[in-house]
Amino acid sequence: MTSEIIAGKYRMLRVLGDGGTGRVYLVDHIDLGAKYALKLLSKQLSEDLGFIERFKREAEILSRFSHPGSLQLRDFGRTLEGRYYMAIEYSDGVLLSDLIAEKQSFSIDEALDIVQQILSVLAAAHELGIVHRDIKPDNIMVERGESGENIVRILDFGIASLKERAELGADAANEGASIGTPEYMSPEQASGEGNLDHRVDIYATGIVLYELLAGQVPFQGDSIVKTLLLQLIQPLDPLPVSKNVPLLVEEIIAKALKKDRDLRFQSAADFREACNRAQRVLRGELRIEELEVMDRSSEFDSEDALAAPGNFDDSKTKILCLDDDPMILNILQHVLEQHDYNVSTISSYTQLHQHVFKDKVSLLLTDVQMPGLSGAKICAMLKKMKPDLKIILFSNIDTRELETLAAESHADAWMSKGLKPKEWLEVIDNLMMTKKK
């Protein structure tokens, strides 16, 4: 234990954590006798003017956001040595991640209660335009109330983006680098999309609810890249039968975890209300007949309903065509099947999993300008997981730009939509080393 004094008023008690932005201490205010968690920026970041401006803005956001379920900012300043700090309310609760590790899974009622508390905080934050972007059990503290009930406190509001900027650098962050933790990232975060909104928090909270009930996250790869790709294309599996999770709760989770954010709950308040009504039904306080019928699009895998894989002849080369233009897909399928290829077509990257990982196609032909996730990004991610999969980028953009994208994403070839179909075949035949007569 140390007696070092910070900013002339905070006595260090012990280190709580260490990270890319600096160190977090448990401190005691000399005059008030109150304990705080003090985040002390590293000397390097305290000299980074751009980072400091963002740090100040985040402090301003935290200062105007007040909710019982969020730890409050109590002080902000700079030490005599020039290092910036934030003093935040201290919680002596237990991290939700530690509780999950200890309990493995929670009762349905307990899980719904915890998630409703998380969503209450998020609803208030979202009304002010504040998005957390890193909701996960490591950022959720659970305190014990006077009657033994769980009281949830969310940590690091406004800090998640700063941590990522410090680790990636400002340039990377400005270019849309993903902020968050892979296992809890929404598909739009996983793809590196820059135009993020409050629905990333809804998705992450859905992951937390799944984890509370199953004892594990639904999407877990053996590498960061694989986990991100699973977030993008892996259909959501139902919870284990052994957990006895009612269908109405599974439907809530499925809706929160839609790959398409427009199909998720559109607000934390709506998500919370769905959890509350399900909880009341399970407690016998509400008849199931009174429960509003959820849109059946919230069923597991319905959004990701896969195109029929086709009756593949194993003796023929399997090709998967991805394009959002039905006419292009029809032309490709006709031309390729006429030349003895087995062809399957899909119109969304969310349908990739079945074909790439289960049907084991030999070649993916992907449009570059796909909505939600560009063909170049799809290629780059798949190449890291399945280097043997042949991939061709297909587009009507300028050929020099297309060639550059193909090189950067490690595509095996590229071809312009402006070519004649017989020229498409030449590119494909040459790549697959099977000259078709």
Q: What is the dihedral of CA 361, 366, 371, 377, to 10 degrees?
A: 90
CA separation, residue 21 to residues 70, 85, 164, 416 (Å)? 21, 11, 9, 46
Burial (Cβ within 10 Å: 0-12, 13-18, ≥19) of residue 301: middle
- DSSP β-bridge partners for residue 321: 345, 365
Query: Would you give the DSSP letter of residue 81?
Result: T
295 labelled catalytic: no
Catalytic residue among 18, 92, 98, 134: 134
Q: What is the pLDDT of residue 54?
A: 80
Ordered per-residue pLDDT tens for the chain, 437 residues: 456 898 889 999 988 887 667 788 899 999 898 999 988 888 888 888 888 888 888 788 778 888 999 888 899 998 988 898 989 888 889 999 999 998 877 899 999 999 999 999 999 999 988 888 899 999 999 998 888 889 999 987 755 444 444 444 444 334 334 567 899 999 988 887 778 899 999 999 999 999 999 999 999 988 888 899 899 888 898 888 888 899 899 999 999 999 989 999 999 999 999 999 999 988 887 766 555 544 444 445 544 444 444 444 556 889 999 999 998 999 899 889 888 899 999 998 888 887 887 777 899 999 999 887 889 988 998 888 888 999 999 999 999 999 999 999 999 999 999 888 888 899 999 898 754 44
Instruction: Tell me how far apart the alpha carbons of residues 403 and 393 are, in angstroms, rounded to a whole number.
Output: 9
Instruction: Tell me how far apart the alpha carbons of residues 351 and 322 are, in angstroms, rounded to a whole number.
Output: 9
Comparing CA positions, the residue from 359, 358, 332 lying closest to residue 345 is 332
Q: What is the pLDDT of residue 237?
A: 87
Comparing CA positions, the residue from 69, 67, 70, 73 lying closest to residue 85 is 73
Q: What is the pLDDT of residue 27?
A: 92
Q: Let me know: does 142 contact 154? Beta carbons within 8 Å.
A: no
Which residue do the tokens 């998967």 mark?
320
Question: CA-based Rg of the chain, rounded to a whole angstrom?
Answer: 25
Comparing CA positions, the residue from 89, 411, 103, 125 lying closest to residue 269 is 125
Q: What is the pLDDT of residue 395?
A: 92
Could you give the domains of the chain?
5-89 (3.30.200.20), 94-298 (1.10.510.10), 318-432 (3.40.50.2300)
